[in-house]
Chains A and B, each alone.
Chain A
């Protein structure tokens, strides 16, 4: 409150209103509240068995109502026959209409009035039964619906760890994302170092411009370029067969290899830029001095450059891991049914399976994983959030 009033004295009522309303809308309405609602949704568990019981009971009631309608129609018909006293029409009464007691009676061309009356009594008794069954179903439905009602619980989270199909995919996603991060780090560190230290200013400007282009090219298109290269008659298979390394085209997409290759390519530049930015601020004389004192190359990197580049390395790793673990574009395009990614499982919960509670729980597990990874990197590299946001 104090902040608001001092802000208003300085900037006037309208501007103050804009700033505070804008921030509140963004902070509460777009960041905090949606996340909380997602977590709340993830804690609402509905028993799939109870849900199945509900739909079963409903279907059974529907069937009973159909049967009831048919029986009532037949009763009217039989009564009309009795009124007419004729037996000739009776043989048509059963044709095509539902008959719960077989064909006896109706098919008899010369059915007597007594027989018709017996038939009517039978039907009326059955109608009573049907009414009882419907009533029983209705009360069962109330119970089943109560049981199927989503209730607060951690079952959605337990589900992930007891589900033998999804749990391995979750861990695979984590390990693969770490692998992608490591590969990107190893490939990018020399690039960032070269750009920041070895190359002349003009060369660096030109090369950076060259890197901005693929960086801004759509993720889908970057992935599509590898989809073309890795397809069964793509250039990579053409080349491998051409130089005799393979006899038949390799099916990259059936395993995880295509997804991993695509991810490294799609997210590698998120590693280059942060590392470049930190190495660039290093005083080049330090490298010079270390070299003059006879430090071998690896030692210069290990004791001078890398300690200085820590925040950049941390940011690069965090971004790459986060993008890889949360990627839906790359696995959905380069993967196959045998190489599912955790995000695809989440998508199925929202758009294929329809269990949003489970989907929310999976999503929250992914979020927690990323937060844990960020905290781990911050601890490991001793950097704080302010450094990261730079």
Chain B
């Protein structure tokens, strides 16, 4: 099983060689995680350090919370957060609407043009963000609308809608269209079917897709920086601040961001597990029901043959 050749090669100290080779993947993973997390940890420590300019984690000269206070007193930064929220809400509405329309068309269209449509609607995900920002800027500018919140919302939605569409498609592929047919047969109108059958089925995806759309929008930089014109958003402001005159306010903001991310990641994981558990229960119940139906059939067959 183990690498015998390697044991021979290490010669007199095979035990250490074996020990090392066995632990190597683990050591590598530890190093990788340190690489991923240490920069973030140092960035967070600097938010609590009294050293002002430039922000640094070490030497740690004293614990303070004043940078958080300074952050909440920074009016331009708060205004930029306001802009980010406005864009984010616009992106949620637009991306969910467009993404769902794309998903419905692709999953339910039985035409040869389907794969071409799919390719084009997914293409924004494979396009560099700055290209989306530039093309949207050029497009609306030619109509007399300069870069700003509106253009940034549209530019971001171009690719965020693709994310939403992929999530809706994944959900719709597990949808039993027999449910819709049954509702129609029972006399429901098309709108009733959509609102009472399709939308409830899609609800979990609407929530997750909306959340992801907002996050994508809120932290987008490369597309926004081209489409935003003279306005500003949080990421734009943050980049300018961090590049020119970094103060620990940036670090304080980072602490808040990372804390929110951790909370959200944990919530997501909890939800995923409960969903998986529920699905498992449902699947078992379905199997059970099927078994009962089969046995019923057998009983019926047995009864008729007996008669």
Contacts and interface: CB of A to CB of B under 8 A. Distances in A.
Contact of B243 (A318, A332, A374): A332
A10 B190 CA distance: 8
Contacts, number: 253
Given A20-B105, A205-B269, A332-B239, A225 B40 contact: yes
B209 interface: no
Interface in B231-249: 235, 238-239, 242-243, 246
B269 A27 contact: no
A220 B124 CA distance: 21
Interface string B48-82: 00000011111000000000000000000000000
B3 interface: yes
A194 B29 contact: yes
Q: Which among B104, B113, B257 has the highest number of chain A CB atoms within 10 Å? A: B104
Contacts of B161: 26, 30
A386 B166 CA distance: 11
Interface stretch (B200-208, B218-226, B281-289, B296-304): B218-226
Contact of A3 (B1, B35, B111, B123): B111
A148 interface: no
Contact of B134 (A10, A25, A346, A370): A346
Contacts of B35: 265
Contacts of A263: none
A343 B100 CA distance: 32
B109 interface: yes
A229 B39 contact: yes
B128 interface: yes
B5 A31 contact: no
A74 B280 CA distance: 98
A314 B136 CA distance: 28
Contacts of B225: 328-329, 347
Interface stretch (A47-55, A136-144, A155-163, A211-219): A211-219
A135 interface: no
Interface in B98-154: 98, 100-102, 104-105, 108-111, 113, 115, 117-131, 134-139, 142, 154
B42 A31 contact: no
A363 B32 CA distance: 35
B254 A235 contact: no
Query: What is the predominant secondary structure among interface residues of chain B facing chain A?
Result: helix
B36 interface: yes
Interface in A331-347: 332-333, 343, 346-347
B1 A37 contact: no
B250 interface: yes
Interface residues of B, number: 89
Interface stretch (B12-20, B85-93, B259-267): B259-267
Contact of B122 (A225, A347, A389): A389
B269 A209 contact: yes
A350 interface: yes
A224 interface: yes
B36 A211 contact: yes
Contact of B139 (A33, A218, A322): A33
Interface of B: 1, 3, 5, 25, 28-29, 32-33, 35-37, 39-40, 42-43, 46, 54-58, 97-98, 100-102, 104-105, 108-111, 113, 115, 117-131, 134-139, 142, 154, 157-158, 161, 166, 189-191, 194, 215, 219, 221-222, 225-226, 235, 238-239, 242-243, 246, 250, 253-254, 257-258, 261-262, 264-266, 268-269
Give 3 nearest A-B pairs by CB, closest first.
A326-B128, A12-B190, A22-B101
Given A221-B43, A221-B238, A225-B39, 9 more contacts: A18-B101, A23-B98, A23-B105, A209-B265, A213-B261, A229-B42, A322-B127, A333-B242, A367-B128
Interface of A: 2-3, 6-7, 10-15, 18-23, 25-27, 30-35, 37-38, 41, 187, 190-191, 194, 198, 205, 207, 209-214, 216-229, 231, 233-235, 238, 265, 269, 291, 296-297, 318, 322-323, 325-329, 332-333, 343, 346-347, 350, 356, 359-360, 363, 366-367, 370, 374, 385-386, 388-389
